[in-house]
A = this chain, B = another copy of it.
């Protein structure tokens, strides 16, 4: 019962070589005779040998593990990022440990925990611009931050929020709306700021003064609240919400005020969550490519860990998806 696990020594004994040779086979060293390699490999297969991560980590100082830091996993965007990162990590042989920020939103504590875990690097989903900016980044930890301003201390991967927002706004203007109102995300959010910037740029490009923004906290409830104020203003015919869930709230309050989309108002969201196509009406929105984002973040992180690559800056495009919540004015 107490079958001790198979170690390198067992494989070495069966193959009639030294442990070091087994190690070389395992690590794909070129310095191994093909015949020897075959012998060792068959011995490994026969015994069902698996390298012992902890032992290797102890010896090499590398754990083949990366951390993912997020304030919460309960949002659609974060969980889709997580999924993408998890898949990408698995395919490269890295384990992924998840660290969520406590209620204190204490990034330093999160880095501390990662340090404890001995991760080789970390990906941070940066929901508040100053999250990472203020925390001193541990020197010995490779870092890639998602949705952050460019920074030379760590890699950065971002969705083109501003570009997506511009496309959304221009789409609405193109439909003949005199202006476009905006329900923005929380002030601390980098993504929210970028989306707002894109919206302003599009309006400025059309020579239109930007109206006051309403501000929500990404939840549908906050979108509904903001929408209630907009709905009573008959001059509002087009609303760009900074995410789909707030758009959902906007759709609801406009409908309840007797001004349903798309006849009385056009609404655009951001993200393209799975449900967006089944909102009423189906929501025109900007699709974020979470898979590409996660994949790229991991790729950069692994490059930093394994090849000491310099921090890079990558922008992933976002694409407008037109559905039924927008119509010509």
> A residues bordering B, Cβ < 8 Å?
50, 52-55, 57-58, 63, 65, 72-74, 76, 78-80, 82-83, 86-87, 90, 95-100, 113, 115-118, 219-221, 223-224, 245, 248-249, 251-252, 255-256, 274-275, 277-280
Residues of B near A52 (CB, < 8 A) are 58, 118
Which 5 pairs between the two chains have the least Cβ-Cβ distance?
A220-B278, A79-B79, A54-B57, A73-B83, A54-B58
Other than the known A86-B99, A248-B278, A249-B278, what 4 A-B pairs have Cβ atoms closer than 8 Å?
Answer: A73-B79, A219-B274, A220-B274, A220-B277
Find out whether the CB atom of B116 lies under 8 angstroms from the CB atom of A98: no
Residues of B near A277 (CB, < 8 A) are 220-221
Which listed residue, B58, B248, B280, touches A275 by the CB 8 Å rule?
Answer: B248
* Protomer copies: 2
Q: A275-B220, A278-B248 are in contact. Are A90 and B73 (CB under 8 A)?
A: no
Residues of B near A221 (CB, < 8 A) are 277-278
Which listed residue, B54, B274, B280, touches A74 by the CB 8 Å rule?
Answer: B274
Most buried by B among A73, A99, A223, A255: A73
State the CA gap A57–B80 with chains docked (Å): 31
Find out whether the CB atom of A113 lies under 8 angstroms from the CB atom of B90: yes
Return 18 A-B CB contacts under 8 Å, by A number. Answer: A50-B115, A52-B118, A53-B118, A54-B57, A55-B58, A65-B97, A72-B83, A73-B82, A73-B83, A74-B83, A86-B100, A87-B100, A90-B113, A95-B97, A97-B98, A219-B274, A251-B280, A252-B278
